Copies of this chain bind each other. A is one copy, B any other.
């Protein structure tokens, strides 16, 4: 360790780095909460995974619950971006399927079952509903469906490998958590919405 440490302290070789520590804790929390859900997740496990003393969870986030809330709100920004870009419906569904494989997605699924926190970003949902309405107006989707409920159906369908994880495994015999499965499933969904749009 003969490296001069006084200069350029932002490099990765630092003894103390609050930013990095915070980030590591959040990342570890996403993994743990995502894997086991809030109640079953252990703060000591989160700290261990982050490679950090568990007291730092209190120090930075005010405890387990604070950390969870931070996590829940932290990706609202990300979702908002995703909403803005106009893509073919296939692509939207595919990207949604993809996010269900992330830790974020898993936490989202857990939080959807519990009735504690506001899970999804309102902006995102509104934008998506509007987009569906547009597609209906353009004849891309049947006009007699309620766009809100349709969005709900499509999101649930896309999230199936996550929310119905065990069932998916039992039906297909494969692990629904892999990228291959997600791609195959997304392809199937694309096929399905094509049928929906009338063009067989």
Contact of A172 among B112, B144, B152, B155 (CB under 8 A): B152
Complex: how many Å from CA A37 to CA B39?
8
Chain A 126-168 residues near chain B, CB threshold 8 A: 129, 142, 144-146, 148-153, 155-157, 159-168
User: Number of A residues whose C-beta is below 8 Å from B?
Assistant: 56
Closest B residue to A184 using CB positions: B149
Contacts of A155 in B (CB 8 A): 160, 164, 167
Interchain nearest-CB distance for A153 vs B (Å): 5
User: Which applies to chain A's interface (DSSP): helix, strand, loop or mixed?
Assistant: helix
Which residues from chain A sit less than 8 Å from chain B, CB to CB? 36-40, 106, 109-115, 117-120, 122, 125, 129, 142, 144-146, 148-153, 155-157, 159-168, 170-172, 184-185, 188-189, 191-192, 195-196, 198, 200
Q: List 21 A-B contacts (CB under 8 A).
A: A36-B39, A37-B40, A111-B166, A113-B165, A117-B166, A118-B170, A119-B166, A125-B171, A145-B188, A145-B195, A149-B172, A149-B184, A149-B188, A152-B164, A152-B168, A152-B172, A155-B160, A155-B164, A156-B159, A156-B160, A159-B164
**Extra contacts besides A142-B191, A153-B189 (11): CB < 8 Å:** A37-B39, A40-B114, A118-B170, A120-B170, A142-B192, A149-B184, A153-B192, A155-B160, A163-B163, A195-B195, A198-B200
